[in-house]
Amino acid sequence: HWPLDKIATVDRNILRLGLFELLFGDRSEVPPKVAIDEAIELAKGFGGESSGSFVNGVIGAVYEEIGEPGKDQTSDSKIKDIPYEEMPIEKLGGAVVYAETDDGDIQLALVHDVFGHWTLPKGHIDNDDMQAGIKDKVAEETGLQKIDLEKNLGENEYVAADPDKGKIRKQVKYFLAETEYQDLMLPEDKGGLDDIGWFSLPEIVELNFYDDIMPIITESVEILADRLEDESR
């Protein structure tokens, strides 16, 4: 669980307000992006020097994990009317990372968020090399340095409304990736994550995932299970 005793009282209360608005508020009255912006501004005004970035990191991570509801909805005054071809592009990438143990068992590396879901290591890609960017993001979230991207599991693109940039095109790509089996390590700046671990293929079905990544997880498990079956013949 998230270490509440290590979070400043002001930040903790702002997170409670912001997350309540995000998860349970009337989105027709307060769009999710507006709820996030207001929480960040409160943190900047009443919190410490790093409160704004901390609140942004936690609530932003939760917003992405729940599938960015109302991504096209924000205050009308903040939406810039930009033609599709001229919209800025934001690239995101992640991976289903697996490793083979000494006894031949296949394990997946997963991260756990503060709202009780297991998910995939991923993040914003800041350079033109998507595969290199995905490797960097996986390394940041897991501590794994030797990552071999094997198969493109698919990508999707959607238009989201950013309160500062206006409408942007978000492109998300996932890969199946192999690595060496070793200890996993969360980054110091956890950004809404509270646990990390290896899981065997049979254990995967018992875990709590977000609906949007279930097809990616399912395809990966099927690929790896087929490989194990072929090797056993």
Confidence band, pLDDT 50/70/90 cuts, at residue 127: confident
Mean pLDDT, rounded, for 181-185: 96
Q: Domain 85-232: give its CATH superfamily.
A: Nucleoside Triphosphate Pyrophosphohydrolase (3.90.79.10)
Exposed/middle/buried for 164, CB within 10 Å: 0-12, 13-18, 19+?
exposed
Return the CATH class of domain 4-78.
mainly alpha
Query: What is 114-144 written as a DSSP string?
Result: TTS-EE--EEEE-SS-HHHHHHHHHHHHH--
Please report how the helices 51-65 and 9-24 are oriented relative to each other, as an axis angle in degrees rounded to 10: 30
85-232 matches 4-78 in CATH topology = no
Share of the chain above pLDDT 90, in %: 35
pLDDT in tens, 4-21: 666 777 888 888 888 888
Give the separation between CA 18 and CA 54, rounded to whole angstroms: 13
Structural domain boundaries in the chain? 4-78, 85-232
Predicted model pTM: 0.62
Q: Residue 148 is which amino acid? A: D
